[in-house]
Amino acid sequence: MKRKMALFLIDISLTFFAGVVALFVRLGFDWPELAKYFLSIPIYCTIAAIVYIANGTYKIVWLYASFKDMVLLMRGTIIAYLLNVVFFHLTNFVVLPRSVGMMTFLGSTMILIASRFFWQWLNTVPPSAGKRVLIVGAGSAGTMLLEDFEHRPQLGKVVGFIDDSPRKIGRKIHGVPVYGPADRAMEIVEMLKIDEVIIAIPSATAEQMRRIISLINPRRVKIRTLPGIYELTDGQARAGSLRELKIEDLLGREEVKVDLQQIKSYINGKRIMVTGAGGSIGSELCRQLSKLEPSTLILLGKGENSIYKIDEELRVENPSVERIRVIADISDPTRMEQVFRLTRPQIVFHAAAHKHVPLMEENPYEALKVNTLGTKIVAELCCKFEAEKMIFISTDKAVNPSSIMGATKRLAELLLLSMNQGCKTNFVIVRFGNVIGSRGSVVPKFMDQISKGGPVTVTDQRMVRYFMSLSEAVSLVLQAGSFGTNKDLFVLDMGKPISIDELARTMILLNGLIPEQDIKIVYTGSRSGEKMSEELFYEDEFVESTKHPKVKMVKTKRKIAYEELCKSLEEMIKLSIEKPGELIEYVKRFLRSIEEGKK
């Protein structure tokens, strides 16, 4: 609005100037004659002002004005002139000489058009070699990024910033101008002939990121971003940290502050084992743990390729950390005991699990063997070899489970909560929802469907899930591990549940496409074992706060004897082999009996 008002006042001033010049051209310096006709010029400008507004002159982005827009500007000056001719013809209040009126019209038209061309010329940046970069965010991160680009010109040239702060707009940082607000993003991209936009706001929330992305057309310009503040462990923003925009940035990006000193106090100098180290959560655990200076990091997994991949990554990123690569199945007690005897882990992060709900419905024995029996084997070995702590990764699907996957994870929770008192290991359970982008999750599936041109298949428009970014989830797991003493259950605050339908549409937009136009969305109906929404707590669980606002401690009065639970587990294993079709209902019936206090 301010820009429109400023342009309007400039136009009226230029029109007035044209009228005054016309009077002097017609009458020279005859002051009595000039005074006689001078009042006609303000009247001409008043009528012109009304016409300029009604003509739609200020609805145009004049920075990109075309020939048609210039014609519209001329239409306004012509109409203003004709109305003035009619007005002065019908009134005797003051006289406007015909030649003065004509010269005012011609002069104002030329000056107004010239002002538009001058504005375009003033804002035209001469072309330069290399990639042209625009940084969104003129804060400390953006400034550090600019300095890095200045030292590495081969990466491109930063030609401008965008920021919403009024005190920064119009100023310069290291000679680079700051434009704004962010609503003008595409206007500035076109003006500066930008090749790449970099979002340099590490502290931006998912909601703020969605707003910024909605203002930039990914079809027109490449978009990259700095990782979230929790991923920039040294706080330095560098060109090497830049990455492609990910769905986490739009749905689960949050600034999560954890007490690194407290976390480091139970990790530093210790032998740390991560089961499922090649998986999504396991590999991120390894990345973050390696920065906390453990004496040894034991990478245990069943798949050789995934273990090789994370080991190679850590070898490059943190070569000083000793790593032991272990290929083992957590449900194999003989092999697992050999591993524990050789490595003697002090802290165990148990992330190995089968987690794909429909697949586990079809393969219930595998779910029971890995998720429940495997957890039991790891826990008992922790006790036998006197590990200090075992942190178990659970899931919201373990609450009132409707699937065999959720049921087997709930059984694992109960096993750890009922471990024998003589065990010296502190057991910590961390329960949370979906991790954005983890293997087998809906995000990679949608991405694959979008890359193939669709359709994107959504089970139900009503279905919602809790989502958390991978880095955020793992940071909070490490924090919860520092809080846990013995048989503590923690639940991570997942924020608001997100519609799966909204997720699909957001991902389509992220790829520069339009839902239902470029990519169709098809609703297929919910699958076996799926709920419309997930829960994080049982009704009889009591929630208590911890030192971290996103980590809640859960207390329950429900008790079950460990021996009784193990006996039931043996029966379930036997049933899964002999009568697999009856296993799911048996497990659900068993869990219901526990929740109802019959066990």
The torsion defined by the Cα of 42, 43, 44 and 49, in degrees rounded to 10, comes to 80
Torsion sign (Cα): 163, 166, 172, 174: negative
- The residue type of 552 is K
Among 389, 397, 409, 552, which one carries the catalytic annotation?
397
The strand ranges marked E within 10-163 are: 132-136, 157-162
Q: Round to whole Å and give the CA distance between 509 and 493.
A: 27
CA 463 to chain centre: 21
What the block records as the tokens of 30 is 């005859």
Angle, helices 67-90 vs 40-54, to 10°: value is 140
Name the nearest CA neighbour of 225 among 145, 151, 294, 153: 145
Residue 397 annotated in active site: yes
Q: Compute φ and ψ for 29, nearest 5 degrees.
A: -105, 35
> Which is it for strands 542-545 and 551-555: parallel, antiparallel or unpaired?
antiparallel
Q: Round to whole Å and give the CA distance between 254 and 10.
A: 45
Q: Round to whole Å and give the CA distance between 256 and 231.
A: 9
DSSP state of 515: B
> Which is it for strands 196-199 and 222-225: parallel, antiparallel or unpaired?
parallel
Complete edge-to-edge strand list for the sheet that includes strand 347-350: 322-327, 296-301, 271-275, 347-350, 389-395, 426-432, 488-492, 551-555, 542-545
Give Cα separations from 437 to 248, 252, 282, 345 (angstroms). 8, 11, 13, 29
Place of tokens 């014609």: 71
Q: Round to whole Å and give the CA distance between 383 and 386.
A: 5
Give Cα separations from 510 to 199, 288, 459, 502, 532 (angstroms). 14, 28, 21, 12, 25
Which residues are catalytically annotated? 397
